[in-house]
Copies of this chain bind each other. A is one copy, B any other.
Amino acid sequence: MQILQQTFQVPYTYSIFFTKRLFDVANDTLRSFFGSFSQAGFQRKVLIAIDGGFLAHHPQLQEEINHYFSSLEDLVKLVPQLVVLPGGEAAKNDPALFDELVEAIDNYGIDRHSFVIGIGGGAILDLVGYAAAVSHRGVKHIRIPTTVLSQNDSGVGVKNGINYRGKKNFLGTFAPPVAVFNDLTFLQTLDDRDWRGGIAEAIKVALIKDQSFFEWIEVNAEALAQRNEEVMAYLIHRCAEMHVEHIRSGDPFEFGSSRPLDFGHWAAHKLEYLTDFQVRHGEAVAIGIALDCVYSVKVGKLTDAELQRILTVIQKLGFDLYHPKLAENDKINLRNGLQEFREHLGGRLTIMLLDRIGKGVEVHEMDANLIAESVDYLEGHYANLMVG
């Protein structure tokens, strides 16, 4: 028997730009980005797909975009159609929207050297990123996230995906963007729940990696809850930075079983599903973090004093710590979530818990009774609040 051995590395590089008023012609962030790509012999095209929920709050944007790109005609050519997609999770459930994007990519002759820009929340970016990643085996993809969660977490990472017959993110790829543009001013029109939601991801990353960032969030919880923009700007930048570092120094395409950034997420995913996505991702993550922190105390890792600090900051930000669906069916539904989480990741069950604030620790099993006790603890906490 003969054997040939193949080994190679694929390099990826992209920048995340933090700016304001991205499509103001006075802002040359996009212009200089496209300038860096210009090459004699052909003109690159740009197709834009945008979150309709976001666009409704920014009715002047379409004109601003056209105006901005008309000043870039020496560099790139914007195709005449802006693809407007319904925002939110529903977009990831509708295969017709995937088809619509693929068809637009085909109709306008977007090739592997042209750009598809997604503008919107994490759901739209996941859908557009997936369509871009599989068309022509990958056209260049730019993300312009418009929610806190997508600016500090999903939009700066390397994953995309859509739901398939009710299975969350069943279809997707690892496909880094060529650039990400975070515009702080876009966040002004978010409703309070989505403003708050993305903060859960910052708490998550602080808890597993950076005590001082957690302390910064403690100090600034009030300002964040009151929608202070400059404080939010720091939170997003720091969280995105840690996310990017984590991907770089870890296992970017997740070939292993470990997913530290999924701290708090096994229960969150199940809760989103059990509430038919009425509880939004960040809200569910806040509860999932609370649950895994209580559990961490119960298995003798985190101290109770630390737990109280964590629960306090989560509540100060306006999150709930509990949802009745956690207890439903004698907590069996929730425990199934652990199994489903393992199945989605594959391999050996690997769950991140907290050793202390700022330091996560991975475990390979979770005790069903202790999970149930942790749920009871949060329910008690919640009942006390209702009474108190």
**Which residues of A are at the interface with B, using a C-beta cutoff of 8 A?**
1-19, 29, 39, 41-42, 102, 106, 109, 111-114, 133-139, 156, 159, 161, 164-165, 167, 169-174, 176, 237, 240-241, 244, 247-248, 252-254, 257, 343-348, 364
Contact = CB atoms under 8 A, between A and B. Distances in A.
A7 B170 contact: no
B138 A364 contact: no
Contacts of A247: 6, 8
28 contacts: A2-B18, A2-B237, A3-B18, A4-B16, A4-B240, A5-B15, A6-B12, A6-B14, A6-B15, A6-B247, A8-B247, A8-B248, A8-B252, A39-B348, A42-B347, A42-B348, A102-B164, A111-B343, A111-B346, A112-B346, A134-B171, A134-B172, A136-B344, A136-B346, A137-B161, A138-B174, A138-B253, A173-B173
A221 B176 CA distance: 46
A6 B111 contact: no
A286 B136 CA distance: 25
A17 B3 CA distance: 5
Given A4-B15, A6-B244, 19 more contacts: A1-B29, A4-B16, A4-B156, A4-B240, A4-B244, A6-B13, A6-B14, A7-B13, A7-B248, A9-B12, A39-B347, A41-B364, A102-B171, A111-B347, A112-B345, A113-B347, A134-B134, A134-B173, A136-B170
A10 B11 CA distance: 6
A254 B140 CA distance: 12
A33 to B, nearest CB: 10
Nearest to A8: B248
